[in-house]
């Protein structure tokens, strides 16, 4: 039996295999009107195809907990009940294919209010559908980006409550897994890193203060999420600034991630979805096949927290080896699942595993 296609259990939930779909923004929701931020036919077809292709668990794209938390005006949201109904259509279909539906809850912070990537991803002003952004400190993301407003403590607590409300709605929408997005330089990651967090109050400065907001969000989500269902956390394991002279303040490091993983485990997180980067636009990153896997492996080895590995995992045997060598508990594919929605089915054939195949496709088996 292929280790990639062995079931994996978190709390009371058993996922059919260890080949999962990573969150990838589609920038395809309505940007205004009654269906603002709601999933539509594109999202249904997109996620349904990967479920029919045998993917064990699918995480939605970053789904904003508030309108201001969107990366772009075209992001999915989960701040109202109309959005819940649209998402329920997707989760019902995924479950029918044996795929576990998961949702990534997100707030973009200073990286919000930008255009779709295929339009260049530049910051949007109010005349073009943009809005004021917020962050732990009033530091722009890059040249040509506006400085965000520094969040007050009351505003921070309001966002914590928005994550909790979003988790409640996610449960109503039929999701079985919720992931808190703390990676890629979005709001939670901005608080974690000394590169972007220059505060001097209880939410800045020391490691304990910089991780406070993230843990408050986790606690708020865990408090409303059923105890029998898992909570995941996505992290950028490093800002890739350790030896970078871009800023006199060193960024978030792999050592920080190991420390924080132990904290997350103590706060009820069940798996760390381990990525890197995104917080500093000119960080020097040497990418290659599986280049982020060692960060996941270290967390697993040193803390015992289950981990997911991501990053240029494009071949079935590569994914199999990551699992069989104990480097990670699951792999999450991104671009490769865009290229091949039935990657799991094809990998199962290659490795001698089994995946759910829709009865309508029985002639393909």
Residue extents of the structural domains in the chain: 3-364
pLDDT above 60 for 245: no
The stretch 34-45 carries a mean pLDDT of 96
In angstroms, rounded to a whole number, what is the distance separating the alpha carbons of residues 184 and 27? 17
Q: How confident is the model at residue 58 (pLDDT cuts 50, 70, 90)?
A: very high
pLDDT above 60 for 247: no
Please tell me the pTM assigned to this model: 0.95
Q: Are 160 and 216 in contact (CB under 8 A)?
A: yes
In angstroms, rounded to a whole number, what is the distance separating the alpha carbons of residues 200 and 3? 48
CA trace torsion 227, 228, 234, 238 (10° rounding): 80
pLDDT above 70 for 65: yes
Question: 7 Cβ partners below 8 Å, 6+ apart?
Answer: 14, 15, 16, 17
> How much is the pLDDT for 312?
94
Mean pLDDT, rounded, of the chain? 95
The stretch 163-183 carries a mean pLDDT of 98
| Catalytic annotation, residues | 186
> How much is the pLDDT for 327?
97
Q: How confident is the model at residue 265 (pLDDT cuts 50, 70, 90)?
A: very high
pLDDT above 70 for 57: yes
State what percent of residues in the chain have pLDDT above 90. Answer: 90
> How much is the pLDDT for 18?
98
The stretch 304-313 carries a mean pLDDT of 96
In angstroms, rounded to a whole number, what is the distance separating the alpha carbons of residues 102 and 52? 16
Question: 49 Cβ partners below 8 Å, 6+ apart?
Answer: 341
Comparing 230 with 362, the larger pLDDT belongs to: 230
The stretch 25-38 carries a mean pLDDT of 94
User: Tokens 């060598």 identify what position?
Assistant: 325
In angstroms, rounded to a whole number, what is the distance separating the alpha carbons of residues 162 and 52? 33
Q: Name the nearest CA neighbour of 167 among 101, 82, 79.
A: 79
> How much is the pLDDT for 103?
98
Instruction: Report CA Rg, the chain.
Output: 19
* Residue 349 structure tokens: 């054939």
pLDDT above 80 for 242: no
Among 40-44, 73-77, 273-277, 287-291, whose mean pLDDT is lowest? Answer: 287-291
The stretch 94-101 carries a mean pLDDT of 97
Residues forming beta bridges with residue 333, ordered by sequence position: 21
Write out the E strands in 107-150. Answer: 134-135, 149-150
pLDDT above 70 for 360: yes
pLDDT above 80 for 159: yes
Q: Name the nearest CA neighbour of 277 among 189, 358, 352, 204.
A: 189
Q: How confident is the model at residue 181 (pLDDT cuts 50, 70, 90)?
A: very high
> How much is the pLDDT for 249?
58
Helical spans, DSSP H, in the chain: 41-52, 81-96, 153-172, 187-192, 207-210, 212-224, 254-266, 293-303, 316-324, 335-339, 343-351
Q: How confident is the model at residue 284 (pLDDT cuts 50, 70, 90)?
A: confident
pLDDT above 60 for 248: no
Q: Round to the nearest angstrom and report the end-to-end CA distance of the chain.
A: 18
Note the CATH number of domain 3-364: 3.20.20.70
Q: Are 259 and 164 in contact (CB under 8 A)?
A: no
The stretch 245-257 carries a mean pLDDT of 77
> How much is the pLDDT for 250?
83
């Amino acid at each position: 039996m292929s280790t990639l296609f062995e079931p994996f259990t978190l709390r009371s939930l058993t996922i059919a295999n260890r080949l999962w779909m990573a969150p990838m923004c589609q920038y395809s929701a309505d940007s205004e009107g009654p269906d603002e931020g709601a999933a539509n036919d594109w999202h249904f077809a997109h996620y349904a195809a990967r479920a029919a292709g045998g993917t064990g668990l699918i995480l939605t794209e970053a789904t904003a907990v508030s309108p201001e938390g969107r990366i772009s005006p075209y992001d999915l949201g989960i701040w109202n009940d109309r959005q819940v109904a649209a998402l329920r259509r997707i989760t019902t279909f995924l479950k029918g294919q044996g795929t576990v539906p998961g949702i990534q809850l997100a707030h973009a912070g200073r990286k919000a209010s930008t255009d779709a990537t295929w339009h260049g991803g530049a910051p949007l002003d109010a005349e073009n559908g943009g809005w004021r952004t917020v962050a732990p400190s009033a530091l722009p993301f890059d040249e040509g980006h506006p400085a965000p407003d520094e969040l007050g403590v009351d505003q921070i607590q309001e966002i914590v409550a928005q994550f909790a409300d979003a988790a409640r709605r996610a449960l109503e929408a039929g999701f079985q897994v919720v992931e808190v997005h703390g990676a890629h330089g979005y709001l939670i990651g901005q608080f974690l890193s000394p590169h972007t967090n220059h505060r001097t109050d209880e939410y800045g400065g020391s490691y304990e203060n910089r991780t406070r907001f993230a843990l408050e969000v986790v606690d708020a989500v865990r408090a409303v999420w059923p105890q029998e269902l898992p909570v995941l956390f996505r992290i950028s394991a490093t800002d890739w600034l350790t030896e970078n002279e871009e800023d006199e303040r060193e960024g978030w490091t792999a050592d920080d991630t190991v420390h924080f993983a132990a904290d997350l485990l103590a706060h009820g997180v069940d798996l760390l979805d381990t990525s890197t980067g995104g917080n500093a636009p000119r960080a020097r990153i040497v990418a290659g096949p599986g280049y982020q896997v060692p960060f996941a492996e270290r967390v697993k080895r040193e803390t015992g927290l289950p981990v997911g590995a991501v990053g240029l995992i494009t071949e079935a045997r590569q994914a199999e080896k990551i699992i069989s060598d104990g480097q990670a508990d699951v792999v999450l594919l991104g671009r490769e699942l865009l290229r091949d929605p039935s990657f799991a089915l094809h990998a199962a054939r290659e490795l001698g595993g089994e995946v759910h195949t829709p009865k309508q496709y029985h002639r393909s088996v």
